[in-house]
Chain A
Amino acid sequence: MSSRVKVKQANRMVREQLARERRRRRTIIVSIVAAAALVVAGLVGWAIYANQAPPASFATPAHASKDGTGIVVSTGTATVDFYQDFLCPICKQFESQASSTLDSMVAQKKIALVYHPIAILDDRTNPSGYSTRAAAAAACAADGNKFPEYFRALYDKQPAEGSAGLSNDQLVQIGVGVGLTDNTFAQCVTSQKYANWVAHNTDTAAGKNIQGTPTVLVNGKQIQNTVNALQQAVG
């Protein structure tokens, strides 16, 4: 090999070495930029959520439970907490199976029945948000002393998942059907007075690891969603 060729070869090696160096350096810089972009994206998400989070102060409806996250419909020895979403088909199913049992337990003053309307299926209507609107409307019905009646009427007319849900006007009309004829109720429903209360309930329930509906607790202990389990737990 002539010395000229050797020099050329050596030059090329140096050039390649430098190019590799440059590429490595740029890779590191670009990676740092990318990492920063990911961190910023995460912070943006957190900031958006923090902005959406329900305010610390919100209106609480009449007949609210002691912790403020439920509607008390009866007094009795055993406490039954029923967490439900008005769009949830299994809630409707459980409610229709258990309603007569619950009614007689209420009549015999065996149970303090507390309904906790929460909204975990807001995403399943189009436009989203039926769960919240329905639960907020139910709270308005509590103000009008018609919560149990309205509750049942809402399940009777439950819209399908994936539908638009019931409109606020329809929610008002259902109220009229159970005797909530005054303007206060209609205004309460259309202004979504208790939407933040519902968000608070949902958040509080999730904090207690109640993320599914229906969830039924008897004296604080979760039971299977069957009439049998309910009767056994209440005794």
Chain B
Amino acid sequence: MQVVRLWGATAARLGLAVVFAVAGWSKVTDLAGSGRAVNAYQLLPFSLAKVVGAGLPFVELMLAALLLLGLATRFAAAVAGALLVVYIAAIASVWARGLSIDCGCFGVGGNLAPGQHPNYFWDIARDVGLLAVAVFLLLTPRTVLSVDNYVLGEA
């Protein structure tokens, strides 16, 4: 049982690392576009959306690095969970307001052309699934192949 948890948590850690790495990387090549994608949610004034849009891809990449290394795993899991809660809330709010945008989760973003339909349900379902993974890791942050094992010492 202990072993299953250990490896399960390890898989959760690395899985989240990959998702955040892909999400961050897809946006980092077009920071202006990332700012526009944030602005499309119409939750922040444009000037603030630009700051968030430029910073977020780098935060996601750094988070992916922490998870990949297994450094400050519990803290990283908490940040991942918090980000996902924000993403879910933002997509839900867009959905509730009837806006038609691309979530910009993995690049692109912006308004959808007429005839294109948003996938809010699946975006949210995916993020809720990832949130569950992050919460699991938050509760069982001990994993194999992690820097924490060396840095934090014996439990």
Contact = CB atoms under 8 A, between A and B. Distances in A.
Interface string B97-117: 000010000011111111100
A113 to B, nearest CB: 21
Contacts of B79: 35, 38
Nearest to B39: A206
Contacts of B101: 211
Contact of B39 (A27, A48, A211): A211
Contacts of A215: 111
Given A49-B50, A212-B113, A122 B30 contact: yes
Contacts of B29: 123, 128
A105 to B, nearest CB: 21
Given A49-B50, A212-B111, A19 B66 contact: no
B123 interface: no
Given A19-B154, A199-B32, A46 B55 contact: yes
A20 interface: yes
A30 B57 contact: no
A34 B147 CA distance: 12
A224 B58 contact: no
B155 A20 contact: yes
A167 to B, nearest CB: 21
A164 interface: no
B81 interface: no
Interface string B129-150: 0000000000000000000100
Interface string A210-230: 111111000000001100000
B153 A120 contact: no
Interface residues of B, number: 48
Interface residues of A, number: 45
Interface in B36-53: 36-37, 39-40, 42, 46, 50-51, 53
Given A49-B35, A52-B31, A44 B111 contact: no
Given A41-B61, A120-B36, A199-B32, A30 B51 contact: no
Contacts of A224: 114
Interface in A33-79: 33-35, 37-38, 40-46, 48-50, 52-53
A23 B142 CA distance: 12
Contacts of A23: 152-155
Interface in A1-50: 19-20, 22-23, 26-27, 30-31, 33-35, 37-38, 40-46, 48-50
A41 B32 contact: no
A49 B151 contact: no
A30 B55 contact: no
A195 B83 CA distance: 35
A95 interface: no
A41 B37 CA distance: 19
B44 to A, nearest CB: 12
25 contacts: A26-B152, A27-B72, A30-B148, A31-B75, A34-B71, A34-B75, A38-B59, A38-B66, A45-B55, A45-B57, A45-B59, A46-B54, A48-B54, A49-B31, A49-B32, A49-B35, A123-B29, A128-B30, A207-B46, A210-B111, A211-B101, A211-B109, A211-B110, A214-B113, A224-B114
In the A-B complex, the 9 residue pairs with the smallest Cβ-Cβ separation, listed nearest first, are A212-B111, A49-B54, A42-B55, A45-B58, A34-B72, A41-B62, A31-B75, A211-B110, A41-B58
